[in-house]
Structure 1
Amino acid sequence: MTDLEMLEKALADGYHIIGIFSADKIQQNHEESLKTGFVAGSVDAFIETFNLRIEKNVLLDPKNKSKFIIVLKKEPASCIGFLTSDPQCLNRAKQQLAFQNESIGLHITVRFSVSGGSSEPNQISYIDKIIDQLNQLLGWDFKKINDTYFEGNKELSSTNEEDAVKELEKFRTLSTYIAICRKIGIRIESYMISKIPRLGPYICYTGPQNSWHRH
């Protein structure tokens, strides 16, 4: 079985690509870790990070210096990896990785605190009680973090970051209205906008509420 066939079989079996790593770079990092004592750069740390079933000596073999290791994962199974220098296999892996990382939407997270008012515990309790109504009104998923902080999450099918900013502005307008009506303070502490890929972890950036216009 060729390397390309091995890759195609793994993808057909439900594995997705975690990364494509240069054996040369892995060896360089390992040599540097021996000099500096920076354990995280060692080949042992690399193998442990992905829980790979591959011999340390294989990755450190000078004959494999020009090769790349393709790491794949299938939940809940552990990662698998294999070395290759086949251009067709590497190109296919890069194409698959680009496909997996393609954004299909945006995820917004907002954290805010509640304080002040004639009876602070009652005001916080009020916000706690209307969470379900807020969720229905704006399509957010709000939850209480602790006695002071709340968090809101919302997913958009749009990949346009301006649409996420508009949703944040709608939320700020509503929170200002509630604060005025209840004579309390609602402070938006931070926000996070994440790109939702087809597969893999979210790619996100964060900032304070007064920097929304920059994105």
Structure 2
Amino acid sequence: MSNLETNQVTQQARGPVGREGVLDVAARLFREQGYGSVSLRKIAQVAGIKAGSIYYHFGSKDEIVLSILDTGIMAVHDEMRLAVSSQASDASAEVILRAAITAHLRALLDVSDYSSANVRIFGQVPQSVRDANLPTRRSYEAEWDSLLARLKANGALKQDVDVRHLRLMLIGALNATLEWFDPKRGSVEALAKNYADVFVHGILEKQDN
């Protein structure tokens, strides 16, 4: 059998769905059903390929999961970094924070099954997978820490604000929207505005002393 014929047979065995197709299907399933309910067999069935075909691209379910976790974080990271870097050099802290919050929510809720799956299943996956994902996660957290530290150094944040605690609270609140946000009842932009209003201006009315 010639090399061309061998390649054709191999491609037929792999089926029409390649590596990215498998990941797309898996990300959607993990987002909808969680980690434990999704098997390689189910991924293959939804993708329309034989279960064994997945092994042309991935060695295990957890290898697929790690790719989805990394891709999900990078999608949010890229959106947030682009949104912040696109602001004018003299943009106010409020404008910058609103841009970052909106970008995070848009990537999380509108852009990708990967980012949604990341938030949904991270706490469900084996520790070894979480450990392997940590560099990508830490990189995004460092992006927020750097932004908040810069705003604090410029006097835009109160000096007694703990940057790490603020970042944990902010990202945690944004990610939690996956549990309840219904796009039929409002837009991501409106949600982002409401969140930014709370973080920037607080929730209490000023009282006359």
Same fold (TM > 0.5)? no
Higher relative contact order, chain-length normalized (CA < 8 Å, sep 6+): 2
Between Structure 1 and Structure 2, the one with more strand by share is 1
Bigger CA radius of gyration: 1
TM-score (norm 1): 0.28
TM-score (norm 2): 0.29
Between Structure 1 and Structure 2, the one with more helix by share is 2
